[in-house]
Amino acid sequence: MRNLPKTLAERHQSGVRADSISLSAGDNPTDHPLFCKYFVYGESSSNVRALDQHDKEAAKDYILRFYPSFEDTSEKPIYQASSVTVHGTCYKKGNNTMLLAEISDSNPIFGSLENIWLCDSFVFLSLKLYETAGFEQNLLSYQIKEEESPCGLFVVEVQDLPMTCVMHTNKYSGCLYICPREDPKVLIND
C-alpha cells in the first residue's frame, strides 16, 4: 500500500522546484528567451520566410512611414514571420491578437497584429488599428470597433510598444471588448 499523500506531495514538489529546470541546452541563462537580448530567426525556420522584392518594398514603405531612420538597413533582407518571441512574450499574427499601439487623448488605441517583419535585429509589428468606443465599467473592458476611415497599417517596433502584453478580444452583445491586464491609463501618468 502506498502512502498517497506523500506521493502526491513529492510529485507536487518536483514540479515546483525551479532548480531542476534547464534554461537552455548549455545551461547558459543568456540563451533563454526570458534573458536574451536578441531573437533568432533564419530562412530555415518553418514560420519565417524571406520576402520577395515586391513584398519587401511594400514592407519597407510601411516601416519607413513610421521609422525614417530604417533607410540605413535597406540592403538587408526582410523576413516575414507568423510568430516571434521577444523577451519571453510570444507575438502571433491574427485578428484576435491585440496590442496597445498608442494612447491618444487619454484613450488607448488597440490594434490587431497583421504582419511581423524581421530585419537585422529589429522586430516590426504592423497593426490594424481599432477605434476605442469607451470603457465599459460593468465589464471592466474597453469597447472597440473598426475605424470608420481605415488609414492603413500602423507599424511599431517591439521595443517601442507602450505595453508588451498581448491581449485578446471578447464578444459580448455583438460588440468587441478588450480586458487589459493592467490599465493603460496608468501609462499617461508616468
User: Residue 38 pLDDT more than 50?
Assistant: no
- Residue 78, pLDDT above cutoff 70: yes
Q: Distance between CA atoms of 130 and 112, rounded to whole angstroms?
A: 8
In whole angstroms, give the CA distance from residue 75 to residue 171. Answer: 43
Reported confidence tier of residue 42, pLDDT bands at 50, 70, 90: very low
Per-domain residue ranges for the chain?
Answer: 29-189
* Residue, of 58 and 10, whose pLDDT is higher: 58
Q: Indicate the average pLDDT of the chain.
A: 77
Q: Do 178 and 98 form a contact (C-beta atoms < 8 A)?
A: yes
* Confidence (pTM): 0.71
Residue 2: is its pLDDT beyond 70?
no
**Tens of pLDDT, residues 84-113:** 888 778 888 888 889 998 888 778 889 999
Residue carrying C-alpha cell 516601416: 63
One-letter amino acid of 18: A
pLDDT grade, residue 125 (50/70/90)?
very high
Least confident of 22-31, 142-151, 154-163, 167-176: 22-31
